[in-house]
Amino acid sequence: MKLVRETLNEADFERGLDPKRSMGLGKKVQIEKDLEEAGINPMAVEITDDLIIKNKSVYNSQDSALYKIQMKYLKPSWKKFVLKLRNDKIKSSLAVDDALDEGIDPAVIRELINTFGKFKEGYQEIDHKTSAIIHLTKQTRDKEKVEEDEENNTYAFIGFQGKAPVMVNGKKYYEDKFETEGVIKIDRYDQSSLANISGMKLRARYAGHGANVYFITIPKDFMDEERYEEIPEEYYDLFVEHKKRI
């Protein structure tokens, strides 16, 4: 009985490697060749194991040579999602929902959003990344996280180190006290609500006194108003202990 020799070149599949991985390495080599032929330095991109070509700069234009190479190597369902994500006539939330319905792994969707969500059309910079990431995060919560969100509110506020007067033996002294400017309810899954934080950060930057923007998650049974001018006294210690800087 004759032994049948391998008909494939050893170069095609490296010894000790999974065949699929070896094929992926081969495609990475081809991608690098495509990039070089297009006048793009392969060092300017990162190629993932899933053959998602990540541009190391923030934006790349719709009609760029790089974008065409990126799309060439995407799986059909992934390419379909990217086209929807970049389409101004389609809400990014709908593009995300369709991708989830098609069974695309949420981790892959996030990677595609981060890679293709910001881009240029002519001189215009377009950002579909933020809204898509927010919606994906909301849609992929587990049951425990959904229940947590339903039972609690999130508040953002500017906090700084102030001085509070105290009387000791009839004399007035001042001691350090954490103070706040406005306490606003934030919907972490709504882009317009989250936009308030940018304005708060700007005010904090010019306020001095080491001001920063913080947030806290607190049961709705404790606080449920849209806005408070200051922290309710009964929850002051809770805020100071559990606040987190944004």
pLDDT tens digits, one per residue of 40-82:
889 889 999 999 999 876 556 555 889 999 999 999 999 999 9
> pLDDT tier at 214 (50, 70, 90 boundaries)?
very high
**What percent of the chain lies above the pLDDT cut of 90?**
64
Q: How many beta carbons lie within 10 A of that of residue 94, not counting itself?
A: 13
Lowest mean pLDDT among 32-41, 106-115, 147-156: 32-41
Distance CA 68, CA 217 (A): 44
> pLDDT tier at 164 (50, 70, 90 boundaries)?
low
Phi/psi at 173 (nearest 5 deg)? Answer: -125, 170
- Measured between its terminal Cα atoms, the distance across the chain in Å is 72
Is residue 157 within 8 A of residue 184, CB to CB? The reply is yes
Distance CA 196, CA 5 (A): 68
- Exposed, middle or buried by CB within 10 Å (0-12, 13-18, 19+), for 200? buried
Retrieve residue 65's tokens.
């040579």
Retrieve residue 106's tokens.
């949420």
Q: Which residues contact 155 (CB under 8 A, 6 or more apart)?
A: 183, 184, 185, 186, 215, 216, 218, 223, 228
Q: pLDDT tens for residues 175-185?
A: 778 888 889 99
What residues does each domain of the chain span? 19-139, 152-245
Residue whose structure tokens are 């708060």: 200
